[in-house]
Chains A and B, each alone.
Chain A
Amino acid sequence: MNDTGATQPHAAPTLEPGFKGIVKDWSSDQRSFKTASWGKVMMWVFLLSDTFIFGCFLLSYMTARMSTTVPWPNASEVFALEVFGMHMPLLLIAIMTFVLITSSGTMAMAVNYAYRRDRKKTTALILVTAFFGAMFVGMQAFEWSKLIHEGVRPWGNPWGAEQFGASFFMITGFHGTHVSIGVIFLLIMARKVWRGDLDNGKPGFLTGRKGRYEMVEIMGLYWHFVDLVWVFIFAFFYLW
Chain B
Amino acid sequence: MADIPHEASASAPPAEIEEMELPHAHGWWSTYVFSQDAKVIAVQYAATALAIGAVALVLSWLIRLQLGFPGAVAFIDAERYYQFITMHGMIMVVYLLTALFLGGFGNYLIPLMIGARDMVFPYANMLSFWVYLLAVLVLVASFFVPGGPTGAGWTLYPPQAILSNTPGQQFGIVLMLVSLILFIAGFTMGGLNYTVTVLQARTRGMTLMRMPLTVWGIFVATIMALLAFPALFVAAVMMLFDKLLGTSFFMPTLVEFGEQLSYGGGSPILFQHLFWFFGHPEVYIVALPAFGIVSDLISTHARRNIFGYRMMVWAIVIIGALSFIVWAHHMYVSGMHPYFGFFFATTTLIIAVPTAIKVYNWVLTLWRGDIHFTPPMLFALGFIVTFVNGGLSGLFLGNVVVDVPLSDTMFVVAHFHMVMGVAPILVIFGAIYHWYPKVTGRMLDDAMAKFHFWVTFLGAYLIFFPMHYLGLMGAPRRYFESSDILLMPESAHALNAFISIVAFIVGFAQIVFVFNLIWSRKHGKEAGGNPWRATTLEWQTPETPPGHGNWGKDLPVVYRWAYDYSVPGAAEDFIPQNQPATVTRETPA
Check B123–A3 contact: CB distance below 8 A.
no
Query: How far is A29 from B124 in the complex, measured between Cα atoms in Å?
Result: 25
- Tell yes or no: B17 within 8 A of A by CB: yes
Task: Output the least CB separation between A180 and chain B (Å).
Answer: 17
Given contacts A64-B249, A154-B245, A166-B248, contact A30 B204 (CB under 8 A): yes
Check B206–A32 contact: CB distance below 8 A.
no
Contact residues of A between 141 and 182, Cβ < 8 Å to B: 154-155, 161-163, 165-167, 170, 174
A-B contact count (CB 8 A): 185
- Tell yes or no: B3 within 8 A of A by CB: yes
Neighbour of B264 across the interface among A8, A29, A46, A162, CB < 8 A: A162
- Tell yes or no: A235 within 8 A of B by CB: no
- A66: nearest residue on chain B (CB-CB)? B267
Task: Output the least CB separation between B264 and chain A (Å).
Answer: 7
Q: How many residues of A contact B (CB 8 A)?
A: 59
- Chain A residues in 8 Å Cβ range of B229: 49
- Tell yes or no: A14 within 8 A of B by CB: no
Check B270–A63 contact: CB distance below 8 A.
yes
- Tell yes or no: B262 within 8 A of A by CB: yes
Stretch at the interface among A51-59, A75-83, A96-104: A51-59
Check A3–B238 contact: CB distance below 8 A.
no
- Tell yes or no: B587 within 8 A of A by CB: no
- Chain A residues in 8 Å Cβ range of B209: 27
Check B249–A60 contact: CB distance below 8 A.
yes
Check B248–A38 contact: CB distance below 8 A.
no
Query: How far is A50 from B233 in the complex, measured between Cα atoms in Å?
Result: 11
- B208: nearest residue on chain A (CB-CB)? A26
- Chain B residues in 8 Å Cβ range of A27: 2-3, 207-209
Query: How far is A48 from B224 in the complex, measured between Cα atoms in Å?
Result: 11
Stretch at the interface among B76-84, B142-150, B188-196, B423-431: B188-196
Check A29–B202 contact: CB distance below 8 A.
yes
- Chain B residues in 8 Å Cβ range of A209: 123
SS class of chain B's interface: helix, strand, loop or mixed? loop
Query: How far is A174 from B14 in the complex, measured between Cα atoms in Å?
Result: 45
Check A41–B199 contact: CB distance below 8 A.
yes
Task: Output the least CB separation between A187 and chain B (Å).
Answer: 21
- Tell yes or no: A70 within 8 A of B by CB: yes
Check B120–A64 contact: CB distance below 8 A.
no
Check B201–A38 contact: CB distance below 8 A.
yes
- B246: nearest residue on chain A (CB-CB)? A155
- Chain B residues in 8 Å Cβ range of A69: 265
Given contacts A27-B3, A31-B16, contact A154 B246 (CB under 8 A): yes
Check B237–A30 contact: CB distance below 8 A.
no
Check B238–A33 contact: CB distance below 8 A.
no
- Chain B residues in 8 Å Cβ range of A161: 265
Neighbour of A49 across the interface among B17, B188, B248, B267, CB < 8 A: B188
- Tell yes or no: B353 within 8 A of A by CB: no
Check B13–A28 contact: CB distance below 8 A.
yes
- Tell yes or no: B241 within 8 A of A by CB: yes
- Tell yes or no: B557 within 8 A of A by CB: yes
- Tell yes or no: A85 within 8 A of B by CB: no
- A68: nearest residue on chain B (CB-CB)? B265
Given contacts A162-B265, A166-B249, A208-B23, contact A45 B192 (CB under 8 A): yes
Query: How far is A70 from B178 in the complex, measured between Cα atoms in Å?
Result: 31
- Tell yes or no: A1 within 8 A of B by CB: yes
Check B248–A162 contact: CB distance below 8 A.
yes
- Tell yes or no: A2 within 8 A of B by CB: yes
- Chain A residues in 8 Å Cβ range of B200: 30-33, 36-38, 41
Given contacts A6-B557, A53-B234, contact A42 B245 (CB under 8 A): no
Given contacts A29-B206, A31-B17, A31-B199, contact A155 B226 (CB under 8 A): no
Task: Output the least CB separation between A158 and chain B (Å).
Answer: 15
Q: Encode contact with B along A103-147: 1 for CB under 8 Å, 0 otherwise.
A: 000000000000000000000000000000000000000000000
Which residue, B124, B191, B248, B277, has most C-beta atoms of chain A within 10 A?
Answer: B248
- Tell yes or no: A9 within 8 A of B by CB: yes
- Tell yes or no: A34 within 8 A of B by CB: yes
Check A45–B196 contact: CB distance below 8 A.
yes
Check A30–B16 contact: CB distance below 8 A.
yes
Contact residues of B between 210 and 267, Cβ < 8 Å to A: 210, 226-227, 229-231, 233-235, 237-238, 241, 245-249, 262, 264-267
- Tell yes or no: B18 within 8 A of A by CB: yes
Check B245–A29 contact: CB distance below 8 A.
no
- Tell yes or no: A210 within 8 A of B by CB: yes
Which residue, B192, B196, B273, has most C-beta atoms of chain A within 10 A?
Answer: B196
- Tell yes or no: A86 within 8 A of B by CB: no
Query: How far is A53 from B2 in the complex, measured between Cα atoms in Å?
Result: 38
Check A52–B203 contact: CB distance below 8 A.
no
Check A42–B17 contact: CB distance below 8 A.
no
- Chain A residues in 8 Å Cβ range of B270: 60, 63-64, 67
- Tell yes or no: B556 within 8 A of A by CB: yes
Query: How far is A210 from B18 in the complex, measured between Cα atoms in Å?
Result: 13
- Tell yes or no: B121 within 8 A of A by CB: yes
- Tell yes or no: B555 within 8 A of A by CB: yes
- Chain A residues in 8 Å Cβ range of B262: 155
- B124: nearest residue on chain A (CB-CB)? A207
- Tell yes or no: B444 within 8 A of A by CB: no
- Tell yes or no: B158 within 8 A of A by CB: no
- Tell yes or no: B336 within 8 A of A by CB: no
- Chain A residues in 8 Å Cβ range of B11: 3
Task: Output the least CB separation between A6 and chain B (Å).
Answer: 6
- Chain A residues in 8 Å Cβ range of B298: none
Check B17–A30 contact: CB distance below 8 A.
yes
Query: How far is A9 from B265 in the complex, measured between Cα atoms in Å?
Result: 61
- Tell yes or no: B68 within 8 A of A by CB: no
Query: How far is A170 from B14 in the complex, measured between Cα atoms in Å?
Result: 50
Check A42–B206 contact: CB distance below 8 A.
no
- Tell yes or no: A5 within 8 A of B by CB: yes
- Chain B residues in 8 Å Cβ range of A2: 554
Check A42–B120 contact: CB distance below 8 A.
yes
Check B556–A52 contact: CB distance below 8 A.
no
Neighbour of B227 across the interface among A12, A52, A166, A174, CB < 8 A: A52
- Tell yes or no: B409 within 8 A of A by CB: no
- A51: nearest residue on chain B (CB-CB)? B230
Check A9–B16 contact: CB distance below 8 A.
yes
- B15: nearest residue on chain A (CB-CB)? A9
Check B123–A207 contact: CB distance below 8 A.
yes
Check B123–A155 contact: CB distance below 8 A.
no
Query: How far is A81 from B180 in the complex, measured between Cα atoms in Å?
Result: 40
Check B226–A49 contact: CB distance below 8 A.
yes
- Tell yes or no: B169 within 8 A of A by CB: no
- A27: nearest residue on chain B (CB-CB)? B207
Check A166–B264 contact: CB distance below 8 A.
no
- Chain A residues in 8 Å Cβ range of B210: 29
Please list 7 pairs of residues, one from A and one from B, whose beta carbons are closer than 8 Å in the complex, sorted by A's number: A5-B13, A27-B208, A30-B200, A32-B199, A154-B246, A166-B241, A170-B238
A residues with a Cβ closer than 8 A to B are: 1-13, 26-34, 36-38, 41-42, 45-46, 48-50, 52-53, 55-57, 60, 63-64, 67-70, 154-155, 161-163, 165-167, 170, 174, 206-210
Instruction: Give the 8 A-B CB pairs with smallest separation, nearest first.
Output: A5-B14, A166-B247, A52-B230, A56-B234, A155-B246, A53-B230, A207-B123, A49-B226
* Contacts A1-B580, A29-B210, A57-B234 known; 8 new A-B pairs at CB < 8 A: A3-B11, A11-B16, A27-B208, A30-B200, A41-B196, A42-B192, A46-B188, A63-B270
